[in-house]
Structure 1
Amino acid sequence: MQQGKGIKILVVDDEPNILQFLELGLANEGYQVKTAQDGPEAIVLAEQFNPHVVILDVMMPGMDGYEVCQTLKDMKPVAVIMLTAKEEIDDRVKGLTLGADDYMSKPFGFGELLARIQARVRNQFPHLLSEVSVGPFTIDAARKEIKYRDRALDLSPTEFELLKHLVLNHLQVLSKSVILDQVWGYDFGGEENIVEVYIRSLRDKLQDREHRVIRTIRGAGYRVDLL
């Protein structure tokens, strides 16, 4: 998978094991990755590396993550995902108030982190995702085209948005209500059954007769499997 192609990520944490784990995992996804073990090093690297996303630990000695976040946000456009062992609401509010774009508590799943990185890039640097390859899918946002196993699919605008959303969030099970909010919009006044209609159409176009590509997770929603 090359969903990270052309995207730069700076990982900041004072725990070497976490740095190594994230550096290897993110590099394997195609991201360009740099790491820093403290705040001052992170700021110097950010000036040189110009990351799109910074994964930033809160609890570091000396210059903590809150101060680093505020400094980075004052420097240049960057998406900041803060990591912390703390779960108190006040800590989350403080980070978000200082400009953090997202917040994850340790321990966290690598798949969830990938999904959050992609969400931040889509929202703040959409030009970087003009073409994204995820498993057998290639999504060309500029041309509004999706290929499956090198075969271009004949999709309506809504089908394109729905399949793109399912593929880019393939690590998650998406409920009908979430799909409606994120694809049709919060002001959509129709019924949830419209999702089933579009899923059925997508399966036909993917020749997914046995529902192995777009899976129905009973009682929860839908998930794309990268076969």
Structure 2
Amino acid sequence: MRTHILVVDDDPHIRELLRFLLSKEGYSVFEAENGNEGSVIMGKELIHLAVVDVMMPLKNGWELCEEIRRYYDIPVIMLTAKGAIEDKERGFTSGTDDYMVKPFEPKELLFRMKALLRRYQMVSSDLIQLNGISIDRQGYEVKSEDKVFILPLKEFELLAQLANHPGRIFTREQLLNLIWGQDFEGDSRTIDVHIKRLRERFAEYADDFIISTIRGIGYKLEVKGK
């Protein structure tokens, strides 16, 4: 699986430069011209790292960074013309991992991105291990030591999404967007029904993992012993 990079900048020349630079390095690039568009892409795509400008219309980079830090466990680099120490302080307070001032050296940006991706261990695996339960994302199969589970597609995708980020809280709306897509016309009860089915299927395996309800927010998967 290729590494997905989100570039959020209202300057089309910067987006074009980064698209060329990152595509040449083998990354898949998603682009947004403001923070709102960036939020939508984060909800629909699996993003591994975000490069975010500060001064943008609708939702600025600080606001987007705070949102990413609240809901996603990915590295963020702020790429901006605002180089004063107060601006950097606000960037790091918002949760950015790194801060580069324009004009920037493209090779330096690549070095910093690769270092952050290593630090976050974002090398994706097709096999997720939850103690005695393994989830094969390529084969759409879940196994225990003595049993193979063949799950309906949406149940499998929901379980894999939660399991790939153990301990992270997902809202019902995030899960709907990630699994069913932005155009899905159902409501959040769809998530509740599928979570109930997953809990019933894996009730005997509570020593391996559990799916916890976070009251008023959503769900998270917890791996026992971790």
Smaller-chain TM-score range? 0.5 to 0.7
Q: Which amino acid aligns with 2:8?
A: V
Residue 128 (structure 1) shift: 4.7
Q: Partner of 1:64 in structure 2?
A: 60
- Percent identical pairs in the alignment equals 42
What does residue 113 of structure 1 align with? Answer: 109
1:48–1:55 distance in 2 versus 1, CA, 3 Å: same
5, 25, 32: which one aligns with 1:36:
32
| Deviation digits for residues 7-43 of structure 1 (CA, Å, limit 9, x no counterpart) | 1100000011111111121011000110000111000
Runs of 4 or more, structure 1, over 3 Å off, are 126-129
1:81 paired residue number = 77
Distance in 2 between the 1:127 and 1:113 partners? 19
Q: Normalising to structure 1: TM-score of the pair?
A: 0.53
Conservation of the 8 A alpha-carbon contact between 1:9 and 1:52:
yes
List runs of 5+ in structure 2 lacking aligned partners: 126-226
Task: Tell me the CA shift for residue 97 of structure 1.
Answer: 1.1
Q: Deviations over 1:146-176 (max 9, x none)?
A: xxxxxxxxxxxxxxxxxxxxxxxxxxxxxxx
1:60–1:29 CA distance, 2 compared to 1 (3 A)? same
Is the 8 Å Cα contact of residues 56 and 80 (structure 1) preserved in structure 2?
yes
1:14 corresponds to: 10
- In the TM superposition, what whole-angstrom CA distance separates every residue of 1:187-218 from its partner, at most 9, and x where no partner exists? xxxxxxxxxxxxxxxxxxxxxxxxxxxxxxxx
Note if contact 2:48-2:122 (Cα within 8 Å) is conserved in structure 1.
no
Would the aligned equivalents of 1:38 and 1:63 in 2 still touch at CA under 8 Å? yes
Q: For residues 47 and 126 of structure 1, what CA distance do their matches in structure 2 show? A: 18
> For the residues of structure 2 that align with 1:126 and 1:32, how far apart are their CA atoms?
14
Aligned partners of 2:83 and 2:21: how far apart in 1?
25
Would you say the 8 A contact 1:40–1:63 is kept in 2? yes
Query: How large is the Cα RMSD of the aligned pairs?
Result: 1.5
1:92 lines up with 2:83 in the alignment: no
Could you tell me which residue of structure 1 aligns to residue 21 of structure 2? Answer: 25
Counterpart code for 1:25:
L
SS at match of 1:59: coil
**Residues 1:101 and 2:67 aligned together:** no
Q: 1:53 to 1:44 in 2, by over 3 A?
A: same
After superposition, the Cα gap between the structure-2 partners of 1:43 and 1:60, relative to the gap in structure 1 and judged at 3 Å, is same
**Matched residue count:** 125
Report if aligned partners of 1:39, 1:63 keep a CA contact under 8 Å in 2.
yes
CA contact (8 A) 1:121 1:128 kept: no
- C-alpha displacement of 1:6: 2.0
How far did 1:113 drift? 0.5
**Residues 36, 58 of structure 2: 8 Å contact kept:** no
User: SS at the partner of 1:17?
Assistant: helix
Unaligned runs of 5+ in 1: 130-227
How many Å separate the matches in 2 of 1:9 and 1:117? Answer: 10
For the residue of structure 2 that corresponds to 1:127, the secondary structure is: coil
Counterparts of 1:98 and 1:50 in 2: how far apart (Å)?
22
Cα distance in 2 for residues equivalent to 1:87 and 1:48: 32
> Cα offset for 1:127?
3.4
Q: What CA distance in whole angstroms lies between the structure 1 residues aligned with 2:9 and 2:34?
A: 7
**Distance in 2 (alpha carbons) for counterparts of 1:71 and 1:126:** 19
Shift of residue 50 of structure 1? 1.9
Give the secondary-structure state (helix, strand or coil) at the position aligned to 1:104.
Answer: strand
CA distance in 2, matches of 1:127, 1:28: 19
